[in-house]
Structure 1
């Protein structure tokens, strides 16, 4: 099969699970003998633009005519079987769908977040869930609240792009790949076409090695933001420390807007190690050496890559009991689910998962079995190819009926 992958790569200064998913899917397809091309833009390139060029970037968010022309020409020249769209913000835009239509190539789109119904894609605002923009209305609430980067001006291009391109997305994509059933449920309820929405979990490469003992630390691995729950985790850890601690340190690996706050909080503490960004090898090592991975997100995660990675290594998770986490983690079997946003609940379950090593290791073994059943590369490849074939068949049927 010949696949062209379309993706706007996120900045390299921040950890991006989405970039990793794209790279790993491309490698998986190629290793299985499929021909895979890339049509990319990189957010890193914005910094090298002139002042005028930087100022023009928001204008490209709703529509980039140059991208449409370039991609159409490439599709007509190469004639791939299917186009797989990932992220189009900020430099590609939904014009990529027009290019697919121009060339008559079916499009599949992985929905890594909620940008189809929420301009910043989080369904989260001011520390709580938010659905004000969900539905057929123009997402003016997002602009009013400045939901993207706390800026009304920065939110305008996203809100405009969502409003003017909603129908193009819904009619121009043969198959939408949701990365959890929880995500699909939200999107169907928002009015997206249910018959085009399939569930295809992200897969996680087998790390090749797993936890061999009880583990020596608890691990938070991800972006240091309020929505990822890092302030919640800090508050829970302070509560545990005041009660005598849990006997193992907390390792925080990541980067983000709360870098300074986390560094200041962790300074001069024996029970916390703030290590910054880890490369992939160090991430695997940190996961395999953990008692548990802690994922206390306040927002309803569409999947939860760090939890799946822990499962691959035979490590249980303590995660927020909503969104994709509630689907990945079998509460009490492969990990524990705390009440979202609740400091006391999080602290209690962190203590519980450390306190019983035998039960912890049993949960780790169950987590590994669940990984093999749902999130392994073999399963991911099978589901991906199935959806490509369904998209190609759907396009053929629609053309035959027209």
Structure 2
């Protein structure tokens, strides 16, 4: 495919297969389909080898390793990025991960082209308090002054951006979308095998949770919900995910170790299993009774993992950390818990336990219909391309 609409550069500090990278791929695919050339400037591939780069190559994007994105404060990173944009006659630079957005914006400014941010999450700045404060000030000073457009996954994220100084007319909300897969049909023996593999016993309500093991994702809150007296219901939770293999590896490894200690100390060995990274999440969802999400904060009101579970017809429980999703009706399309509140999460799980199988199936079916009608990847991609075209046209006028 030859791009005639112009050349787009996208930065992606962590080219793994988690939500941010997958949405970057979706936007990149939409841009390629609209006739843009695309160069992805990325950080180092995760040590575990899970990489989105072959998928970018498959859509005809050029991929360029820029290892300095791993620690994006080197003095030559921005000039070199800007030189690449000028050499390619780039029209816009799109920053995806929080740690690559500053260099993306500064390089765009130096190259004289718009800088666009894909803001998929609420912001957190890690490190000792003085270091975190310095990171915060530096980040927001650049973002407020240099952002041509911030594409935000929810009103909560947009409000965070405007409160930090991004002009309101430069921040828009675009909820994520997904490519709805065909339904997974499992024969009885295969379903039983997968349930046993996930640790469920006969009679258990099997819940799946998908996400990296991280404080943000709140698996500790889920364990606290399960451990609340008087006694846990017949519930088994299968945790699907691993620790961060990049910059936050030590922090997430410590968090994961604390989860294992909690399971042991609170007597949850028979109620929780750790599955690690899985490539067959669709099959796990088909074998499960429901999906549960416990994150402390997210960007989208419907995180990708929740949307994928709903699209699979799996009734979902998730927190209200980014507000109520558009078109979503609690109790009809899924169940919402208060963010950061294990007691609220436990009540929603108890509601699932109290439902009959047909009631849970009906809840899952309504959730799947919501995703098919309002959260498709095609619609999201078209809207993103329109936003980029507008930014490029305004810059050239």
TM superposition score normalised by structure 2:
0.75
**Alignment of 1:96 onto 2:93:** no
* Cα distance change of structure 1 residues 59 and 301 upon mapping to structure 2, 3 Å threshold: closer
Q: Would the alpha carbon gap of residues 361 and 318 (structure 1) be closer, same or farther in structure 2, given more than 3 Å must change?
A: same
What SS does structure 1 have at the residue aligned with 2:215? Answer: coil
CA RMSD of aligned residues (A): 3.2
Distance in 2, matches of 1:111 and 1:79, equals 25
- Alignment match, 2:260: 263
Q: 1:238 aligns with which of 209, 223, 227?
A: 227
- Superposition pairs of residues 144-183 of structure 1, within 5 angstroms: 148-149=126-127, 151-152=128-129, 154-155=131-132, 157-162=134-139, 166=141, 168-183=142-157
> Is 1:64–1:95's contact at 8 Å kept on the other side of the alignment?
no
Cα deviation, residue 325, structure 1: 5.7
1:376 matched to 2:350: no
- How far does residue 331 in structure 1 lie from its aligned partner after superposition? 1.0
Cross-structure match for 1:135: none
Alignment partner for residue 236 of structure 2, among 239, 242, 249?
249
1:77–1:10: structure 2 CA closer, same or farther, 3 Å change rule? closer
Decide whether aligned partners of structure 1 residues 9 and 284 sit closer, same or farther in structure 2, where only a CA change above 3 A counts: farther
Deviations 1:18-73 (A, max 9, x none): 2232233324443565422112233859xxxxxxxxxxx89964x54412222222
Q: Which residue of 2 aligns with 1:21?
A: 23
Counterpart contact for 1:266–1:274, Cα < 8 Å: no
* Matching residue of 2:294: 296
Per the TM alignment, residue 228 of structure 1 is displaced from its structure 2 partner at its CA by 2.0
1:118 is matched with: none
Task: Give 1:152 shift.
Answer: 3.5
Q: Secondary structure at the match of 1:42?
A: coil
Residues 8 and 86 in structure 1, CA contact (< 8 A), matched pair in contact too: yes
Q: Are the aligned partners of 2:15 and 2:42 in contact in 1 as well (CA < 8 Å)?
A: no
CA distance in 2, matches of 1:186, 1:172: 16
Which runs of 5 or more residues in structure 2 are unaligned? Answer: 48-67, 196-205, 244-251
Checking the alignment, whether the CA contact within 8 Å between 1:262 and 1:274 is kept in structure 2 is no
What per-residue deviation string (whole Å, max 9, x for no partner) do you get for residues 115-149 of structure 1?
A: xxxxxx23xxxxxxxxxxxxxxxxxxxxxxxx614
Relative to structure 1, the CA distance from residue 326 to residue 148 in structure 2 (aligned partners, 3 Å threshold; closer, same or farther) is same
Map 1:189-228 to 2 at 5 A: 189-210=163-184, 217-228=206-217
What is the Cα deviation at residue 382 of structure 1?
0.9
Aligned to 1:137: none
1:73 maps to what in 2?
83
Q: Could you state the TM-score of these two structures normalised by the residue count of structure 1?
A: 0.74
Moved more, 314-323 or 18-27: 18-27
State the alpha-carbon separation in 2 of the partners of residues 177 and 333 from structure 1: 29
Aligned partners of 1:59 and 1:160: how far apart in 2?
A: 20
Q: CA deviation at 1:385?
A: 0.8
Task: Report if aligned partners of 2:102, 2:143 keep a CA contact under 8 Å in 1.
Answer: yes
Q: Which moved more, 1:229-238 or 1:186-195?
A: 186-195
Alpha-carbon distance between aligned partners in 2 of 1:206 and 1:187, rounded to the nearest angstrom: 30
Residue in 1 that maps onto 2:341:
342
Alpha-carbon distance between aligned partners in 1 of 2:284 and 2:395, rounded to the nearest angstrom:
45
**Conserved in 2, the CA contact under 8 Å of 1:30 and 1:36?**
yes
> Aligned partners of 2:8, 2:180: CA distance in 1, in Å?
25
Counting matched residue pairs gives 343
